[in-house]
């Protein structure tokens, strides 16, 4: 197995500004690649940022303007944003994992999605968060089993889950069974308990774990943002909208970098994928330390479309007798 340098980008987005955040993301990717990173991981829904009003304003209490902005600035996959990100991955020769607010071209529902790009610029996979947490359900729909990719790379197999999905044992087991070596965990979760979760996950899956957070100070909310004082009130909500909690952990559960908090930074770690294989000699959760004769998991990987068309399409005439 190969040694690879991983970068975890803890940064502030330009809130609900797709173009500006995309430009910043590409700049940060170039910076990480210039430092030798070959896998670069960005935070949850970095493009175009977290819909921060879901935890600061009661639901239906004048949040329609903000949601309309989110729909307008969300990312269509594939589309111009993925083309730009793919070109940046190709130009830097890196694998890129980045969180986006995704919408279908003709839909008003937003999905919390992570995109995987290869060093050739190809969009290799997309994961939609299976279960938005708490107030997130007021802005994000639910993903399905068709978007749980595991990406083959020269450095090992790359995958992961988003934020509190990492607390879902069966989702973890499904990915463990596919031999994930580098686990990405873009998140908004803060505090020491989340770092402990990342350490447990690394030790349980015997893989490297990259937990990546955004970091946004109240002063970074644009002055022109609609109803700015309502969306985040410094006196009531504090100085940090998202303080960061980025960390990189090895397969034994030891912290290699971080946790980083209250600063924009890029954490890096040189990881040796032979450590993954060595660690699984002691414990392989879906191999020799599994009992498939006792426990079995069934995973439905079919896409769940909102509409199933039966019969001729609108452009096809019905059969004539």
Sequential DSSP letters for 150-203: -EEETTEEEEE--GGGGG-HHHHHHHHTTT-SEEEEE----SHHHHHHHHHHHH
**CATH number, domain containing residue 148:** 3.60.110.10
Q: Within a domain: residue 301?
A: no
- Among this protein's residues, is 215 annotated catalytic? no
What was the pLDDT predicted at 236?
81
Tell me which residue range forms the domain holding 72.
3-282
Non-local (6+) Cβ contacts of 196 within 8 A are none
Q: Within a domain: residue 74?
A: yes
Query: Considering 38, 163, 215, 243, which one is annotated as catalytic?
Result: 163
Q: Within a domain: residue 138?
A: yes
Q: Within a domain: residue 317?
A: no
Domain tally, the chain: 1
Q: Which of 111, 95, 101 is closest to 18 using CA atoms?
A: 101
- Among this protein's residues, is 129 annotated catalytic? yes
What was the pLDDT predicted at 259?
97
Q: Within a domain: residue 84?
A: yes
| Alpha-carbon span 79 to 104, nearest angstrom | 10
The angle formed by the CA atoms of residues 89, 94 and 97, to the nearest 5 degrees, is 75
What was the pLDDT predicted at 125?
96
What was the pLDDT predicted at 313?
62
Q: What is the pLDDT along the chain (321 residues), one digit of tens a residue?
A: 578 999 999 999 999 999 999 999 999 999 999 999 999 999 999 999 999 988 888 777 767 788 889 999 999 999 999 999 999 999 999 999 999 999 988 888 899 999 999 999 999 999 999 999 988 888 899 999 999 999 999 999 999 999 999 999 999 999 999 999 999 999 999 999 999 999 999 999 999 999 999 999 999 999 888 888 888 888 788 899 999 999 999 999 999 998 999 999 999 999 998 888 888 888 888 889 888 889 999 988 988 876 667 777 666 565 655
Distance of CA 237 to the CA centre of its chain: 25
What was the pLDDT predicted at 300?
87
**Helix and strand counts by DSSP (H, E) for the chain:** 8, 14
| Alpha-carbon span 97 to 68, nearest angstrom | 26
Q: Within a domain: residue 151?
A: yes
Q: Within a domain: residue 290?
A: no
Cα diameter, the chain: 74
Q: Are 258 and 135 in contact (CB under 8 A)?
A: no
Distance of CA 265 to the CA centre of its chain: 18
What was the pLDDT predicted at 286?
84
**β-pair partners for 182:** 158, 208
Query: Considering 129, 207, 215, 242, which one is annotated as catalytic?
Result: 129
- Among this protein's residues, is 44 annotated catalytic? yes
Non-local (6+) Cβ contacts of 148 within 8 A are 127, 159, 171, 174, 175, 299, 301
Q: Within a domain: residue 291?
A: no
What was the pLDDT predicted at 315?
65
Query: Considering 14, 24, 38, 44, which one is annotated as catalytic?
Result: 44
What was the pLDDT predicted at 106?
85
């Amino acid at each position: 197995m190969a040694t690879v340098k991983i970068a975890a980008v803890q940064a502030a987005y330009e809130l609900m500004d797709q173009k500006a955040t995309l430009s910043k993301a590409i700049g940060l990717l170039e910076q990480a690649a210039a430092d030798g990173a070959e896998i670069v991981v960005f935070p949850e829904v970095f493009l175009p940022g977290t819909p921060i009003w879901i935890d600061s304003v009661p639901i239906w209490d004048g949040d329609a303007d903000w949601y309309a902005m989110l729909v307008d600035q969300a990312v269509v996959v594939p589309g111009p944003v993925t083309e730009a990100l793919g070109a940046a991955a190709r130009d830097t020769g890196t694998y890129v994992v980045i969180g986006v607010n995704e919408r279908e071209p003709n839909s008003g529902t937003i999905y919390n999605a992570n995109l995987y790009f290869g060093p050739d610029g190809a969009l290799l996979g997309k994961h939609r968060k299976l279960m938005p947490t708490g107030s997130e359900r007021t802005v994000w729909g639910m993903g399905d089993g068709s978007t749980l990719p595991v990406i083959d790379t020269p450095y090992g197999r790359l995958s992961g889950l988003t934020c509190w999905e990492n607390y879902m044992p069966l989702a973890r087991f499904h990915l463990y069974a596919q031999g994930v070596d580098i686990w990405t965990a873009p998140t908004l979760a803060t505090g020491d308990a989340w770092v402990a979760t990342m350490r447990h996950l690394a030790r349980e899956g015997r893989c490297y774990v990259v937990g990546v957070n955004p970091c946004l100070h109240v002063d970074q909310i644009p002055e022109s943002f609609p109803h700015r004082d309502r969306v985040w009130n410094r006196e009531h909500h504090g100085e940090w909208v998202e303080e960061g909690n980025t960390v990189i952990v090895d397969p034994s559960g030891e912290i290699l970098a971080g946790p980083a908090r209250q600063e924009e930074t890029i954490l890096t770690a040189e990881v040796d994928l032979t450590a993954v294989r060595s660690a699984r000699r002691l414990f392989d959760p879906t191999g020799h330390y599994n009992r498939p004769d006792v426990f079995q998991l069934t995973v439905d990987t079919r896409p769940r479309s909102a509409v199933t068309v039966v019969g001729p399409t609108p452009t096809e005439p019905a059969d004539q007798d």
